[in-house]
Amino acid sequence: MSHPVVVRTANGRFSLRLERRPLVVTLLLTLALVASALASLSLGSQATSLGAVLEALLWPGRSDIALIVHEIRLPRLVLAILVGACLGVAGLLLQGLVRNPLASPDVIGITGGASLAAVCFLALGGTALGDAWLPLAALSGALLVALAIIALNGRVVTPARLVLIGIGIAAALGAGTTLVLVLSADTTAMQAYVWLTGSLYAAQWREVAGLAPWALLGLPLALALARRLDVLALGDELAVGLGTALHGSRLALLLLAVALAGAAVAFAGGLSFVGLLAPHIARRLGVRGHTGLVPVTALVGALIVLHADLMGRIAFLPRDLPAGIFVAGIGAPFFVYLLYRWRS
């Protein structure tokens, strides 16, 4: 029989009950992420040995490839990990919130809001203000969609209404994005299409610094709120009977999912399906309960984006393809499979 590990603060106000299986899975995924990260730093248009990469990381002054590792590959790697973790956990929160295995940031319009805002920014010549304003525009679009969803839901936030409103908003945003692209100049449309696909090309430390606060605040908060998802899964009546503030919890979880997904999309473009794939893979690893699922899903999401970006960098050299192509190549058939299984 597995004995859980309980982490509790001195005043007893906060505690975490962790089963041993999620801890083991988390450790194994962490080791896989470290190994994948080292492989990503070693591979590229100029392949380098693992020893040379370690020397560049530990003693950059003595390495001939320190510039390549620290300024080109490492920021792209760190950004991929942060983006994947944020999107994966955002998808987990939404699936638990609406109690629907098909829910993801794409479905309820969060990604669509960020995409439309970014495309409008590019089409209206916003790049003249500087590329640093593009993530802010995308994040603003995601937050505006969240406010619209909350306003249309009214005072009572229910899972069914949340999904229906989100699907309607996502469809409208998709049409708006297409219209803006059709009316834009060819060069702007090409730039927007690359962004919409989702790409980490030419990532720099300023993008990492922009996304890091959202991840470092949002991911621990998701872990702290994970038990609320377990209670909500029992049903509304039982959740209220256990003393849960039903609508307040749903609102907090929705805003947190929007913040994580919106921030990730703002800095990496419209990466689709990560928020759908990562939670399902985490559950397939035998992890139950959202307290264990949050770290496992974050690691799975990070691995998905990291490997998709690695494939984009090395599979078709000298071309550097967007990571979103490879994520969609896996995610779209998986989505169809889920639809078929759910129908059955």
Closest C-alpha to 298, from 286, 282, 309, 284: 282
Residue 60 has pLDDT above 50, yes or no: yes
What percentage of the chain reaches a pLDDT higher than 70? 86
Helix (H) or strand (E) holding 16: strand 15-18
Q: What is the pLDDT of residue 1?
A: 43
Supply φ then ψ for residue 18, to 5 degrees. -115, 125
Distance CA 260, CA 138 (A): 13
Q: What confidence score (pLDDT) does residue 151 get?
A: 80
Mean pLDDT, the chain, rounded, equals 84
Only one residue has tokens 């942060």, namely 82
pLDDT tens, position by position, 88-102:
999 999 888 887 777
Q: What is the mean pLDDT of residues 157-176?
A: 81
Find the mean pLDDT for residues 127-145.
80
Task: Burial-class residue 159 by CB neighbours within 10 Å (0-12, 13-18, 19+).
Answer: middle
- The segment with the largest mean pLDDT, out of 189-198, 264-273, 296-305, is 296-305
Architecture of domain 52-343: Orthogonal Bundle (1.10)
Q: With 90 as the cut, is the pLDDT of residue 279 above it?
A: yes
Q: What is the mean pLDDT of residues 262-280?
A: 88
pLDDT of the residue at 309:
93
Give yes or no for residue 302 having a pLDDT over 50. Answer: yes
Highest mean pLDDT out of 127-131, 295-299, 335-339, 340-344: 295-299
Helix (H, G, I), strand (E, B) or coil at 102: coil
**pLDDT computed for residue 244 by the predictor:** 65
Task: Give kind and range of the element (H or E) at residue 339.
Answer: helix 323-343
For residues 166 and 85, the model is more confident at 85
Minimum mean pLDDT range among 61-70, 187-196, 282-291: 187-196
Pairwise CA distance, residues 116 & 174, whole Å = 8
Paired tokens of 35? 């190994």
Which pLDDT tens digit goes with each residue over 222-237?
999 888 888 877 666 6
pTM of the predicted structure, to 2 decimals = 0.88
* Start-end of H helices in 204-322: 205-224, 226-232, 236-241, 246-268, 274-284, 290-314
Q: Tell me which of 93-107, 161-175, 206-220, 229-243 is least confident.
A: 229-243
Angle at 155 (CA atoms; ends 154, 160), nearest 5 degrees? 65
- Cα 201 to the center of its chain, rounded Å: 17
State the sign of the Cα–Cα–Cα–Cα dihedral 205, 211, 216, 219.
negative
- What pLDDT score was predicted for residue 220? 95
